[in-house]
Structure 1
């Protein structure tokens, strides 16, 4: 896989500070179903930084750490280097479990990054990850987002074009089922048919579609939001027909979605964001139902466009017409079920 310059927008704390909102529904339980932690040339976002965001006033009780190539092992076989990321995330989880960083149990579930094209070597890697995860490893993610246009880029890693159709990769995905692990998949809307074939071929594995399923708004898709929405919805409907699929609602702070909020004088309000994302939210809930949808922050990537507090206000505005049970599913229940989390008030 080719490593390229990180395409993420810079986080401007002084700009974000220009927008402050009171917290809506502060007692609503939240599981942040998708975030990252790292210390790299583009910035530092570790326990201190994430802990401050989580303490923004919303009732975040648990979070899911997702693979982003942080803290890979320097030494040893290449296949085992991603074990270092699981060790790192588990260490951060232990810090939050101590209570020294607030109420939230951050990184309580971990989505690691074992290379699913390893073939016979994969079992040993997954077994080692499970051993070092403190029982927190729940899934695996490999880079999958690919597009021919150089203007469409959302990751420092560019995977092979047809990775999802690779028989060895598919074998690796099916192997996750034997270990009780799910697959997280970040793909663009142009790849949803390929993801359908993959999810259909691995029907015993829960496949979690990241970031609204990637409806693009840049490069060839700039100014084509209505046409893209129609194509995205049609492809996403096929995936929703597979009972082993789930979807994360979020990630729209990435530049590939094509929103111009970072260019404005003031950061967006939760009302502005909710208006912009409403078509995606409504479609996902219509297709998957609340029991297969979950909210995510995708921080710190999306922090370039809005603060953590404004983001969760946005989600609460999007779900304002929902019943209490529907809100519970969207904000915590689906994530807890998918990633095997016990949350306060859980009846199980």
Structure 2
């Protein structure tokens, strides 16, 4: 099968420092000590099995030096052809965010920015312990993305969807890509309803799309049947034309191999038309990230 993978994390710890892997520890997503020290296009393709990876979008891996990460990724792209798109990290709460954006924009494959926004009352799931979307400086700098024609990868929990919707309404000229199908973190009936309601709230905004990925971070003993409701609900909310599948490798590789994950997604949408399947696995990601 052919895929365009719009959410991978390429790295070489000898080239770019990732503090969360130095040293690695156990997280809700799995045992990070088992992650490879090097995950480059050659490792990705070597582990892809029968999946033909046509193009990839690299999403920042929370590096110590974000501009250095982008420049390293661009050098990879210049020599290997991968990644075709780069989503870089910029701290939009900083007064010099505009300068950082300009530095990233020197790399021709830059397509977007991600700054992780996940806040949760349980420390196990809390990424940043700060409500960036309430910060006036952050919101002002977010608007700079439109000037550079960049998208924003939105990584939040369902409880943050109402505030995110407010931010998105203020920025109709910025494409937002919801990461990891909205991250259904609270595995209760109430949590499920909050997740579904959040999806539909965001899907009602025309400049939002969704990446269906990262599901096994919360479902380590996953089966096709356990993934099916999340996949189909996300597609139902956004429609086939505004959804795409992604691997979240190597993070999701802690609980699945690459081909196994892609074939699971393919099994879930096997009843879709060939055109719809092509959209979900290839053409939507190409359009969303302009690759």
Length-normalised TM-score, structure 2 = 0.88
Residue deviations 1:79-124 (CA, integer Å, cap 9, x gap): xx42111101112222322xxxxxxxx31100001221223x2222
Query: Aligned equivalents of 1:138 and 1:109: distance in 2?
Result: 6
Match of 2:44 among 34, 47, 50: 50
Q: Which residue of 2 aligns with 1:238?
A: 201
Shift of 1:160: 4.0
Residue in structure 1 matched with residue 236 of structure 2 by the alignment: 286
Query: Distance in 2 between the 1:69 and 1:231 partners?
Result: 27
Q: Which residue of 1 aligns with 2:124?
A: 151
Structure 1: state its 5+ residue gaps.
1-25, 73-80, 98-105, 262-267, 342-348
Give a deviation string over 1:112-143, Cα, whole Å, max 9, x none: 01221223x22222222111x1x200000012
| Contact in 2 for aligned 1:69/1:85 (Cα 8 Å) | no
CA contact (8 A) 2:45 2:53 kept: no
Q: Can you list the C-alpha shifts for 1:151-202, whole angstroms capped at 9, x where unaligned?
A: 325xxxx324321121111111111011100000111112112211111121
**1:31 corresponds to:** 4
Aligned residue pairs, count: 270
Where do 1:326-337 residues align within 5 Å? Answer: 326-337=276-287
- TM-score between both structures, scaled by the size of structure 1: 0.74
1:131-170 alignment runs, 5 A limit:
131=106, 133=107, 135-153=108-126, 158-170=127-139
CA distances 1:249-308 after superposition (whole Å, capped 9, x unpaired): 010121xx2x241xxxxxx6xxx2x21111111111111111110111001111110000
1:316 is matched with which residue? 266
Partners of 1:82 and 1:151 lie apart in 2 by 25
Q: Are 2:89 and 1:113 aligned? A: yes
Aligned to 1:314, the other structure's residue is in SS state: helix
Counterpart position of 2:33: none
Query: How big is each residue's C-alpha offset from its partner over 1:21-59, in whole Å with a ceiling of 9 and x where there is no partner?
Result: xxxxx3xx31101010232444413224223123x1112
Aligned CA RMSD, in angstroms, stands at: 1.6
Larger Cα Rg: Structure 1 or Structure 2? 1
Q: Is the 8 A contact 2:98 2:141 kept in 1?
A: no
- Aligned mates of 2:166, 2:47 — CA distance in 1: 38
Alignment of 1:12-23 (within 5 A): none
2:60 is matched with which residue: 50, 55, 67?
A: 67
Judge conservation of contact 1:170–1:202 (CA < 8 Å) in 2: no
